[in-house]
Structure 1
Amino acid sequence: MSIMSFTSLKSHFLIAMPQMADSSFAASLTVICEHSPQGALGIIVNRPTNLKLEEIYRQVGIQQPDAMSQHGDIVYSGGPVAVERGFVLNSGEMKWESCLSICKGLQLTTSKDILMAMAQEKGPADSLVALGYAGWGAGQLEKEIADNAWLNCEVDPAIIFDTPTHLRLHKAASCLGIDLGLISSDVGHG
């Protein structure tokens, strides 16, 4: 019996393959924020919702001054787990409460202090607010990758913060030299 070594995919993008059957992840681009032998946690970064950041501010009791410009920032669907819970991927210039460093230029925060700073235009240079997360149990993500459900590559924060939402998946795949439009969604076993 051989023991397989574990390789963490923390700070990697998961790029959904065209044949992804799970509608929660079809055509998704996910940032893996934590990965250990016990499982993984990620945030989907290309699923905008109709919810605006001002609504999140109201829901958590942050009052915005009248003189301040109203944010039109979109809130994303970060995944199908705990959809009532908020997460903020940000560029990491400052440390916030409940902060997890993912890689240089990217951290994940779940605390209200970052939202308060953002409402006062004192937050991070770049951020993405998401509700919910993607989660995998022990060995589940590794099996899905072995089954060709995902491609993966190192995270590039510029894809999250500087690339239009609808182009992020294809931009991440192009980092691997892959054009997802040329990959068939039909799986063949010859």
Structure 2
Amino acid sequence: MDSLKGQFLVAMPDMGDERFRETVVYLVGHGDEGAMGLVINQSLEDMRFADILEELQLGEKDELIRLPDRIKNRQVLRGGPVQRSRGFVLHSSDYFRVGNSYEVNEEISLTATLDVLKAIAFNDSPTEALFALGYCGWSPGQLETEIQENGWLTVPFSRELLFGLPIENRYDAALARLGITRATLSASAGHG
């Protein structure tokens, strides 16, 4: 199978793992070693970006209070079931730190260090970013098997789907990119 890095996975209705029910996952890596991705359509309801900054002591209390609401109230995503206390930022490529950032494609990078959190909070950079706790991981061949068993649909990259749409609209929007809706989605999609 060709690498799906930089594409989306959309969970099928009969997905066996409830943790992935109606999820959209952005794949940041996929190859012979397995795959890694972040769920982009589930937020942690009781947590905001300002809570993360405060917990990690990434600014003085008065600095954090003065942050604009659009920064303070950014949603924190539930990135996946693996290492749920570890943070990951998917972001536009206008922010890149050699040794810290990983290029997913020409438009998107992944950074998992504190410098990107400070940049989002205090430098208004990168221009587009999602912050997630945890990630999804697949061992070699596991994702391919799940796709063959109709656990996932693959959806081509869309910057709008990743950054432009409200979180609650991303599942339906991902399906729409394939020309289907929840109503027309069959639990038994065919694979040739």
- With normalisation by structure 2, the TM-score equals 0.89
2:157 to 155, 175, 179: 155
How big is the shift at 1:111?
0.9
3-state SS, counterpart of residue 120 of structure 1: helix
Cα distance change of structure 1 residues 154 and 184 upon mapping to structure 2, 3 Å threshold: closer
C-alpha separation in 2, matches of 1:186 and 1:8: 24
Where structure 2 has 5 or more consecutive residues not aligned to the other structure, the ranges are none
Cα deviation for residue 100 of structure 1 reads: 1.3
Mapped contact 1:30–1:43 kept (Cα < 8 A): yes
Q: How far off its partner does 1:142 sit?
A: 0.2
Q: Deviations over 1:89-144 (max 9, x none)?
A: 11121213521111232111101111011111432111110000000001000000
Identity of aligned residues (%): 32
2:3 pairs with 1:42: no
Q: How many residues align structurally?
A: 183
TM-score, reference length from structure 1: 0.90
The aligned amino acid for 2:145 is K
Runs of 4+ aligned residues of structure 1 deviating over 6 Å after TM superposition are none
The alignment partner of 2:104 has SS state of strand
Tell me how large the CA RMSD over aligned residues is: 1.8
Aligned amino acid, residue 12 of structure 1: Q
Does the CA contact (< 8 Å) of 1:115 and 1:123 recur in 2?
Answer: no
Find 1:7's aligned residue among 2, 19, 40: 2
Task: Determine the C-alpha separation between the residues in 2 that align with 1:80 and 1:177.
Answer: 29
- 2:124 alignment partner in structure 1: 122
Name the structure where helix makes up a greater proportion of residues.
2
Aligned residue for 1:179? 181
2:19 alignment partner in structure 1: 24
1:82 maps to what in 2? 83
Unaligned 5+ segments in structure 1 are 1-5
1: CA distance, partners of 2:167 / 2:22: 12
60-69 or 144-153, which deviates more: 60-69
Q: Which residue in the other structure is 1:56 paired with?
A: 52
